[in-house]
Amino acid sequence: MATTKILEVQNLSKTFTSGWWWRKRHYAAVQQVSFDLQAGEILGILGPNGAGKTTIINMLIGITIPSAGEIKYFGQVVTQKNFHEVLRKIAYSSTYYKLPSKLTVYENLKFYALMYAPERVTAAIDNVVEKFNLQLLLHKQFGTLSAGQMSRVLIAKNFIYNPEIMLLDEPTAALDPKSAREIRQEIMQIRERFNTAIIITSHNMIEVTELCDRVVVLKNGAVLEIDTPELLAKRLNMAYLNLWISKNADQLEQLLAQKNLIYTKVGHEFEIKIAEQNLASFLAELHVYKIEFIDIAITKPNLEDYFIQIAESK
């Protein structure tokens, strides 16, 4: 089945300059980044702090002008002249951006409706209130809402004008687990109901794994890999072996030291990091050393393990 690319980023770069003219310093925040976004897709942008995620988002919404490269929305190359037209099809929401706290939810929604849907203000507000179940929040001041309620309103306001692309910067940062789960469910429902394409930046590996069809992995401003969360985790080719030792725990520690295997120990429980292909031979050696265990569990790596590895690698 043919797919439709509604966003294409090609060799995007951004270099910042600081200092005085006689001793300028140049810092490459983003270096020749390329990726695309399909209609109805949820794409994650993942990377350690300083990897270039925020700079890319800022270029996608026109806050920052690229030093080089090309951004193409809906098959059209973006320029400073046509960006205003393009932005009417794009929504941006960030946990770090708040609406005026003294205004009620209704007043905030009305402000956006007057900007983006002046010909149908009441209908646009009613539509958003119904779709996002905001009836009980409508007359509360934004600043009095819980963090989860704020996030829901921040996402909901974008649907005053039914965007085709939504950019979400850390949508569940600082939320408790229950609120974060509710926001993730909201995002999935948005994709299903409106076929909205979504880009998410996040440090929450559960969030990225649950939501994203593909992930763009960044480090030092450049793309390392683009793949599904599952296939990225499989790149590690390792596993965690959990053993509850009933006899000869000292022998096990000697064996682990001999093999230079990384492990943690809590009481009689050992968690050992080991290459998947070495699991069978290692378990056979336990018998040779008369090491006995009463329980065993093998856990394959996840996206968090992958993220930690790329963050720690040079």
Q: Summarize pLDDT for 254-304 with one digit per residue, the tens.
A: 999 999 999 999 999 999 999 989 999 999 999 999 999 999 999 988 999
Confidence of residue 100 (pLDDT cuts 50, 70, 90): very high
Residues 167 and 266 in one domain: no
- Per residue in 167-196, pLDDT (tens digit) is 999 888 878 888 888 889 989 988 998 899
Q: At what angle do helices 249-258 and 279-288 cross, to 10 degrees?
A: 130
- Domain stop point among 193, 209, 232: 232
What per-residue confidence (pLDDT) applies to 175? 82
List the domain range (segments joined by +) for residue 167. Answer: 5-89+163-232
Residues 272 and 240: beta-carbon distance below 8 Å: yes
> pTM above 0.75?
yes
Number of independent structural domains in the chain: 2
- Per residue in 206-251, pLDDT (tens digit) is 899 999 999 999 999 999 999 999 999 988 888 999 999 999 999 9
Domain annotation covers residue 156: no
Domain annotation covers residue 96: no
| DSSP E strands, 39-177 | 42-46, 68-73, 76-77, 90-94, 165-169
Residue 77: give its domain's CATH number. 3.40.50.300
* CA dihedral over 144, 149, 150, 153, signed as positive or negative: negative
What per-residue confidence (pLDDT) applies to 183? 87
Residue 306: give its domain's CATH number. 3.30.70.1150
Residues 211 and 187: beta-carbon distance below 8 Å: yes
Domain annotation covers residue 109: no
Residues 262 and 289 in one domain: yes
Q: 3-7, 70-74, 108-112: lowest mean pLDDT where?
A: 3-7
Inter-CA distances, 187 with 51, 112, 219, 235, 312, Å: 25, 20, 26, 28, 31
Chain centroid offset of residue 301 CA: 18
What per-residue confidence (pLDDT) applies to 1? 43
Specify the higher pLDDT residue, 43 or 4: 43
Confidence of residue 9 (pLDDT cuts 50, 70, 90): very high
- Domain stop point among 177, 208, 232: 232
Residues 10 and 78 in one domain: yes
Residues 16 and 77 in one domain: yes
- Domain stop point among 185, 203, 232: 232
For residue 139, give the DSSP letter: T
